[in-house]
Amino acid sequence: MTQPRQSSIHRRTSETDIQLILNIDGSGRSEINTGIGFFDHMLTALTKHSLFDLNLTVKGDLHIDDHHSVEDTGIALGQAFRQAIGDKKGISRFGQASVPLDEALSEVIIDISGRPYLAWNIPFPTQKIGRMDTELFEEFFRGFVMSSHINLHAILHAGRNSHHIAEATFKATARALRSASEFDMRALNNIPSTKGVL
C-alpha cells in the first residue's frame, strides 16, 4: 500500500491512438488532450474530484466524428483502472455519491465487482453540448465499465441543462470511484468478497 497504484496504457487502432498514465493514489492533477473541448472539461472534473492523477493524449479520427475518440478513451481508461487497482485487497469496493449542480442532481453507485455492468439512466434534453453529442457520454461510460470490470449505476434525479447534467454525473462518478477504491483500514489484508476473489 506504500506504492502508488498506477498504470500506463497505449491503445492504438486504425481509428485512435491513445496514451495515458493513471495514478489512483494521486491528488487530482491532470493533463488531458482529447481534441474535444467539452470532453476534456469532463475528464478534468473526473480526475479532480476522484483525486486520481491522469495524463491523457488522444489522437483520433475527429474528421469523421467524435465517437471513436470518446468510446476508445473509455476503454483505455477502464483498462488502466483495472490494471492499477490490482488484486483489490483492502479496498472499500462500494462507492456512492450524489452531486448537485444548480438544478441538476446525479447519483452514481459503483461496485468494483469484477463483473461489468452499466445501468444508464441519464437523459439529456439536448443532442449536443458545444460540438459534442450527448449520446456519447453513455458510450464513454460503457467502454470504461466493460474494460474496468466494475458495476456502475448512473441515475439522474433532476436536471434541465445538459451541461449541468453531464458535469454532475462525472463529478458523482469521481466521488463514487474515490470512495470505492480507497482502502478500508479495518480490512487491509482482505478481499472484500465472500468468494475470496473479485
* Residue range 38-63, pLDDT digits in tens: 999 999 999 999 999 999 999 999 99
What are the DSSP E strand ranges found in the chain?
Answer: 6-12, 16-23, 30-33, 53-60, 94-101, 104-111, 117-121, 128-129, 132-133, 151-158
**What fold characterizes domain 6-181?**
Ribosomal Protein S5; domain 2 (3.30.230)
For the chain, the domains span: 6-181
| Alpha carbons 14 and 67: distance in angstroms, whole number | 14
Instruction: Summarize pLDDT for 73-130 with one digit per residue, the tens.
Output: 999 999 999 999 999 999 999 999 999 999 999 999 999 999 999 999 999 999 999 9
CA 45, 51, 55, 59 dihedral sign is negative
Which residue is associated with the grid cell 461496485? 111
Give the DSSP letter string of 143-171.
HHHHHHT-EEEEEEEE-S-HHHHHHHHHH
Quick: pLDDT tens for 132-191. 999 999 999 999 999 999 999 999 999 999 999 999 999 999 999 999 999 998 988 898
Q: In terms of pTM, does the model score above 0.85? A: yes
Neighbours of 121 (CB within 10 A): 11
